[in-house]
Amino acid sequence: MWFPKRTRTSRKAAAAAAAPSYSAEIIASNIDLLYEILLRLPAKSLIKFKSVSKHWLSLISDTKFCRRHSSRRRLISDPASGLFLNFSSRPEFEFVNLDKAHSSTDPSRGPFRSLAFDDDVSGIRIIQSCNGLLLCRPVLDYKSRINYVYNPTTKHYAKLPPSPTPRNIGESTRTNYTVLGVSLAFDPSKSPHYKVVCVSDSCGVFRPTFNVEIYSSETGCWTLSSSSIDKDMLPVRFDGGVFWNGSIHWLNNRDEYLLCFNVDEERLSSPIPLPPVPEGWVQGIGHRYFGESSGHLHFVCPIHKAGARSASYLDVFEMGVDYSGWFLKFRVDLLALSVAIPIIIQGKFVQRSNFDKYVFSVLCVVRGELDDGESYIVLKIRSRVIRYNFNTRTSSMLCYVESDRAPTPHLLNWPLLLHPEQFSDCFDGHVYQYIPSLCSV
């Protein structure tokens, strides 16, 4: 060999030796290193950095990069960076930016206010949010049985073939179906593909079970699941379940138990009871919340000791790994909260229980990126959306949202049951987490 021993130089070394002195410049021109740095940025930064240069745009738009990025980000549990609020009375979505407090003069626009895909003129509603993807359906959909999977960050969507599929279920095409619900299952740390579960009932044909069909984005078709769901399980809300730990979780209508369907194994587990009420305590019926954040399943409910004037709390339960049971993760003292946020107290209304003293809705529980210290609950208190940190017990105002519609006239006939003010303060609608991700649909 002509070169002296010990000075074997790699491609990298040669580049470094001939490089200019400005170090950041070299880093940016070293594709391997730049790639590694970009992989570690949150999706929102990357979307912004697409406009740095053509080179950055092509790196960030690359399918392989996006796939690696979304599987990586999920591993370190990206929490939600925003919430889409959908008031029952309005077609548009309100957006709550969780990353920073916004002044009322500068409301966050969010990724979208309303959705429209293809030729659907009726508009689109969201059914479920799952690790960066949204499961959506046309607002007026009685016949088409179409669902969409949408990535609000990349603005790409996929139109799924109609479901239920009569051929799968083995019935004539004239059979009518009632779709009881569709749910999305997506975990980019396990697979870049997602699945959608559709639970339906055949009208006019007696069957002891519901039909369960599963769509896979890998194969692009619906298949009938070998598992079925007994009709005894009713009433369960099968639409937009909560995906956690490889399974979709549906809450039954009376908030008594969870149905848990493992999507890959197509297996329905026996119902899981909700956290028990300790003796001598009373659980509230309203103000409840059930959802997932950063790989944790949460159930929130208000609780107070029996007795008219006892203190009330908001308990946040977390499900243990492998369903070992619910344990109390955080407890919010509503009296202490009312000191910080006095408007939470219901003034004029006749109180029937301890909880009527407070007026709020739980919008979301968000687990911190790194540790519990950054975990918080998002509450809607009258027209304000507030973020309350469990550990520091401090609150910050996120934004104002317009109040819900005025009460409908016939409800005003029962002023003791529903005071107009209280009515307008309840959140009547749905909340969907916004988790920026570059994953493909």
Partner 1 sequence: MSSSSTTTTTTRLLMLKASDGVTFEVEEAVATKLGAINNMVEEEGSEDLICLPNVNGKFLGMVLEWCKKHANNNTNSDKGNDEVNKWWDKEFVMDLDQNTLYHLLMAADYLSGTELVDLLTEKVASMIRGKKVEEIRETFKIKSDFLPGQEEEIRKKNSWAFE
Q: Which residues of the shown chain bind partner 1 in the complex (CB under 8 A)?
A: 5-7, 9-10, 12-13, 16-17, 22-28, 30, 32-33, 36-42, 44-45, 47-57, 97, 108-111, 155
Shortest distance, CB of residue 226 to partner 1, whole angstroms? 42
- CA atoms in the 13 A half-sphere facing the CB of 273: 4
Strands (E), 100-244: 124-130, 133-138, 148-151, 156-159, 177-185, 195-202, 209-216, 221-224, 229-230, 242-244
Euclidean distance between CA atoms 99 and 428, whole angstroms: 24
Q: Which residue number, 133 or 344, has a Cβ lying nearer to partner 1?
A: 133
Task: Quote the least distance from Cβ 437 to partner 1, whole Å.
Answer: 13
User: Which C-beta is closer to partner 1: that of 24 or that of 121?
Assistant: 24
Looking at beta carbons only, is 20 or 409 nearer to partner 1? 20
Smaller CB distance to partner 1: residue 13 or 328?
Answer: 13
| Nearest CB to partner 1, comparing residues 215 and 434 | 434
Hunting for tokens 């809450």 — which residue is that? Answer: 251
Provide the minimum distance between the beta carbon of 218 and partner 1 in the complex, in angstroms, as a whole number. Answer: 28
Nearest to 296, CA basis, from 331, 221, 361, 245: 245
Cβ atoms of 198 and 177 within 8 Å: the answer is: no
DSSP secondary structure code for residue 320 in this structure:
P
The minimum distance between CB 198 and partner 1, in angstroms, equals 31
Radius of gyration, alpha carbons of the chain = 25
What are the strands, taking DSSP E only, across 225-368? 229-230, 242-244, 247-251, 257-262, 267-273, 281-283, 289-293, 296-305, 312-319, 326-333, 361-366
Closest of 372, 301, 378, 386 to residue 342, by C-alpha: 386
C-beta closer to partner 1: residue 83 or 242: 83
CB of 424 to partner 1, least distance (A): 29
Rama region for 425: left / alpha / beta (φ>0; ψ in -120 to 50; rest): alpha
Q: Please report which helix (H) or strand (E) contains residue 36, including its range.
A: helix 31-39
Question: Which is nearer to partner 1, 18 or 203 (by Cβ)?
Answer: 18
**Minimum distance of partner 1 from residue 158's CB (angstroms):** 19
CB of 397 to partner 1, least distance (A): 17
- Closer to partner 1 by Cβ: residue 9 or 209: 9
What residues contact residue 298 under an 8 Å CB cut-off, 6+ apart?
Answer: 289, 290, 291, 292, 316, 317, 318, 319, 329, 365
Q: How far is the CB of 111 from partner 1 (least distance, A)?
A: 5
